[in-house]
Every structure is written in C-alpha cells, then in structure tokens.
Amino acid sequence: MNKTVGILVMAYGTPQSLDHVEAYYTHIRRGRKPTPELLRDLIDRYKAIGGVSPLNEITRMQSQGLETLLNANANNNRTYRVYLGMKHCSPFIQDAIEDMHRDGIEEAVGFVLAPHYSVMSIGTYIQAAEEALQKSDGLHMTFIRSWHLHPDYLQAAARRIQDSLEKFPKQVQKDIRVVFSAHSLPEKILSMGDPYPRQIHETGDALARELKLNHWLYAWQSAGRTADPWLGPDILDVLKSLRKEGHTSVISCPIGFVSDHLEVLYDIDIECQALCKEIGIHLIRTASLNADPDFLKALANIVVEHLAGESA
C-alpha cells in the first residue's frame, strides 16, 4: 500500500506587500505594535530592495522543488507531500499541520530552512509545531534540528565561495579575507550553552578546510533592537577593522542564511557595500543557495537520511 509521508518545511516568512509590514512586525513583536520610527525604518529597508522581499517566493520554490525531487527518487510504496509553514506570516506553521491532519497524514518530518540550531531560533519553530500537533491526533512528526555539517550542504556552500574567489584576480586570491556571518542572537544564549555559535564556527571551519582558505573570520549581523546585548562583533565593525589592517579584498559569506531576503539584500548588499565603498574595500557576497538544484538535492538527502534513521 502506498504511504504518503508529510514534510513540514518551516521558514521565517516576510510581508506580502508594504501594506502588510506593520502586521508582520507586530507579529514578530508578539502583539506589540512597533513605534512609528521603527515601522518607517523597516518600510524604508523594504523599499530599498524593491518594495517586497523575494523570500516567500523563494521558499515556495524550495518546497515545491523538494517535493518533486523526493518523489522522483521515491520507492514504490512511499510518496512525499511537502507542506509549507511560516513563522510570521500565512500560511503559519499551525495551518500547515492542520492541513496535514486533514489530509490524513500519519507520519511526518519537520525542519527549518536554516542549518544551525538555537533554542531561540529553530527551537521556537519546533515549539510552535509541537503545540499544533497536540490538536492533531494520529499525526506523528519527528524533527531535523540542524544540518550544518551535511556534506551536500557544505559542497553547495563551498561551490559558491569558490565562485566568489574566482571573481578576484589570481594574484590576490590567497590573501582574501572570507567573513562568515549569521544572524545575531541575544548574548544570553552563551550562558545557556546554546550550540548556535559553535555550529556557525563548525560550518565555517569545515568550508575553510575544504577550500584550503588562508584567512577566514566570523561576524554577526542583523541584531535586534532591544535593550539586551546581542552577539558580536557586528559585521560592519569587522569590515572596518579589516580595512585598518590594510585589507581591501573581502568575501562575505552569510552562512546563517540560505535565501535572498532582507538581511542579505539590505544588510549586506546595501549597508555593508556602502561602507566598503566608503572605506575602500572590494566586497563580493557569495550567491545564496535559494532553490538551486544542488541545494534542493542536499535538502532531499537530509530528509531521506533522517527518515531512514528513524526507521532503523
């Protein structure tokens, strides 16, 4: 008998239009409306990247591509159906799980489109899913919590760094600084023993070994605007320090992100590039994984290997 396995793909989500920014921002702030200044700043950032982030469309393409790839390689008694659940916009995570339950799915696996685990990031997605599962009797779901060292993911990321290296003259490639960055989180995760910073470094170090990089370092970006201190150093400060040390060729590799969205298209492509132009750094950002075939292959293998482990 053919069995359908549900795949819950979870992502952050983004406003559908500028008119939806306030509701989206309010949801992120757990029901507290942003001040007019904060709202205006966020709207201006979206306008700077063209008015709408491509994140939702990329996420849909990733989900559809994953489903196609899984079913193309499935055995005769198993098919896959991918459901998309967003954290901060429709369709929400709970909506996706309700759809799974209504469709009669009994076995499912959930994962977030982010490679590195933190209780304050991936953990919150899983918590939302688990709360929704309590209302869905008969649906059993396991979770992939991180995949930051999966060889297919690393290979896809390494290919993009190599492509960026080759955009520089041969004679300067050995001296290029590669800055690995990820979304900052509140500093208090350090006292919690959270694996997030370690996993970021593990990914970067693995890529540096694979590519035989001479120089690489780490930075944090896109910190929230709260009274609590966030992880540093900030990528802008790192770039300033590199220039003071005399370096003028830098690759930005935002390994904490897999898709083009505001934190990449604005924070790096606009904000970091503006700084680099001002201080005299030639900065190239690695291409995002998006819905490219090599990344979809990585996701499919991550899912299949997880399910095989669960069966064993």
Extract the annotated binding site: 12, 29, 45-46, 53, 125, 183, 263
Secondary structure letter of residue 18 according to DSSP? G
Q: Return the half-sphere exposure (C-beta side, CA atoms, 13 A cut-off) of residue 169.
A: 5
Q: What is the 3-state secondary structure (H, E, C) of 179-230?
A: EEEEECCEHHHCCCCCCHHHHHHHHHHHHHHHHCCCCEEEEEECCCCCCCCE
Q: Residues within the annotated binding site for Fe-coproporphyrin III? A: 12, 29, 45-46, 53, 125
Q: Residues within the annotated binding site for Fe(2+)? A: 183, 263
Q: Which residue pairs, CB below 8 angstroms and at least 24 apart, start in 130-138?
A: 131/94, 132/93, 132/94, 132/97, 132/98, 133/97, 135/98, 135/101, 136/97, 136/98, 136/100, 136/101, 138/101, 138/106
CB 299 within 8 A of CB 62: yes
* Close Cβ partners of 65 (under 8 Å, ≥ 6 residues apart): 291, 293, 296
Euclidean distance between CA atoms 208 and 109, whole angstroms: 31
Residue with tokens 């955009």: 167
